[in-house]
């Protein structure tokens, strides 16, 4: 009766190219997610250049002017039409 039992491993087909691609793609995605989560959790010290900029006084007008120029450049001027009477 002991000779009737087959203890050999089951036959598993070799994974195809697409299965391997999916498998390693999922591993890379998981590693990328871990890196993103660690980037949020672990604080990174700022460089001296970045710290120097906020200490300089900025006026609200200086920051608003480039936005106004960018908005007006994207919009076309309205054509003036004569009023019909």
Residue 13 in tokens: 């087909």
CB 15 within 8 A of CB 23: yes
Residue closest to 24 by CA, chosen among 35, 13, 16:
16
- What pTM did the predictor assign? 0.41
- Cα torsion angle, 4, 9, 10, 11, sign: negative
pLDDT of amino acid 41: 94
Is residue 1 over pLDDT 60?
Answer: no
Calculate mean pLDDT across residues 64-81.
Answer: 59
Is residue 18 over pLDDT 90?
Answer: yes
Rounded distance between C-alpha atoms, residue 14 and residue 20, angstroms: 10
């Amino acid at each position: 009766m002991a000779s009737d039992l087959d203890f050999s491993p089951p036959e598993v087909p070799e994974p195809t190219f697409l299965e391997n691609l999916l498998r390693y793609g999922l591993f890379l995605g998981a590693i990328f997610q871990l890196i993103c989560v660690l980037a949020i959790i672990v604080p990174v010290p700022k460089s001296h250049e970045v710290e120097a900029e906020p200490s300089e006084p900025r006026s609200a007008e200086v920051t608003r002017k480039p936005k106004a120029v960018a908005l007006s450049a994207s919009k076309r001027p309205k054509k003036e039409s004569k009023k019909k009477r």
